[in-house]
Amino acid sequence: MPGRTTVAALVPAAGGGTRLGAGPKAFVPLAGRTLLEWSVDGLLESGCVDIVIVAAPADLIDRARSLLPETITVVSGGTERHDSVRNGLAAAGAADVIIVHDAARALTPPDLIRRVVTTAVDGARAVIPGLPVTDTIKTVDPAGVVTGTPPRAQLRAIQTPQAFAADLLAAAHASGAADATDDATLVERLGVAVHVVPGDPLAFKITTPIDLVLAQSLVERGLWKPASTPV
C-alpha cells in the first residue's frame, strides 16, 4: 500500500445502557469523566488513530460534542449497535483501516489499541483481541437443557477494538446481518480469516452495575493506568 495508512476509529456510544440502569451508558460518569471521554481519550493516547467518529444517541449529539475535542466527528447512532456502526462508517471517508471500539470499554489500555492496529496495518484484514475464558461455557436449548460443552481451550472472550480493512468492514455491514453482537461475526460470515491477538483484562465492557464498581475501584486504587504511562 503506497503512502501512510490512514486509521479511523468508530466508537459506538448510542446504547441505552439498560443493564447498567443509569441512563445512556456512554454518559455515565467514572471518576469525574464520562465513559465516552475515557474511551476516546484511550484512542487518542494510543497515537495510532487519525480520525475518531462517535455514534451518539440522536438527542445527545450536542452533549457528546461538548465533551470531546473539536477534531472528533459525532454522528447519530441507530436502534441497534450495528446501525450505529453503519452510521459511523458513512462518515469514515477514505480511511484504509477502521477500528470499531465500544465506548463501554472505558479502561482499554492504549497498548491494546496499538497491538490491534499494528497487526492490521501490517496486513491482517481482520484483527480482534481475545482472552482465554475462565468459566466452563455450555450451550443450552430454549428449555435450559445443556446441549454441549465446547472445549474451553478453544474458546476466547472477544473484546474491542476490532480492526478491519475498510473495504472489508463496509462489505460485511452491507451484507445486512442483524443478529451479530460484534463486527467480526459479520466478517466471519464472508469467509474471511479473522486473526485474534491477546486481549487485556482492563478492556472489559462495563455492562452491569458490578462492572462499574470494578472500574471505579481500579481507578480509585490506582490499579488502572495506560501501560505507556511512566510510573
Measured between alpha carbons, how far is 36 from 167 in angstroms, rounded to an integer? Answer: 27
SS3 183: helix
Which residues ranging from 85 to 144 are in contact with ligand CTP (CB under 6 A)?
102-104
Considering only 9-17, 45-53, 58-66, 120-128, which stretch makes contact with ligand CTP by CB under 6 A? 9-17
List Cα–Cα distances, 119 to 128, 178, 194, 196, 226, in angstroms. Answer: 10, 27, 11, 10, 20
Closest CA to 106 of 3, 36, 33: 36
Which residues ranging from 14 to 43 are in contact with ligand CTP (CB under 6 A)?
14-19, 25-26
Q: Which does 26 bind (CB under 5 to 8 A by kind): Mg ion, ligand CTP, none?
A: ligand CTP
User: Is 96 or 211 the residue whose CB approaches ligand CTP more closely?
Assistant: 211
Q: At what angle do helices 35-46 and 110-121 cross, to 10 degrees?
A: 50
User: Is 25 or 115 the residue whose CB approaches ligand CTP more closely?
Assistant: 25
For residue 205, state whether it binds ligand CTP (rule: CB under 6 A): yes
User: How is residue 84 written as a grid cell?
Assistant: 450505529
The residue ranges that bind Mg ion (CB under 5 A) are: 15
Under the rule (CB under 6 A), what is the footprint of ligand CTP? 12-19, 25-26, 55, 77-81, 84, 102-104, 205, 207
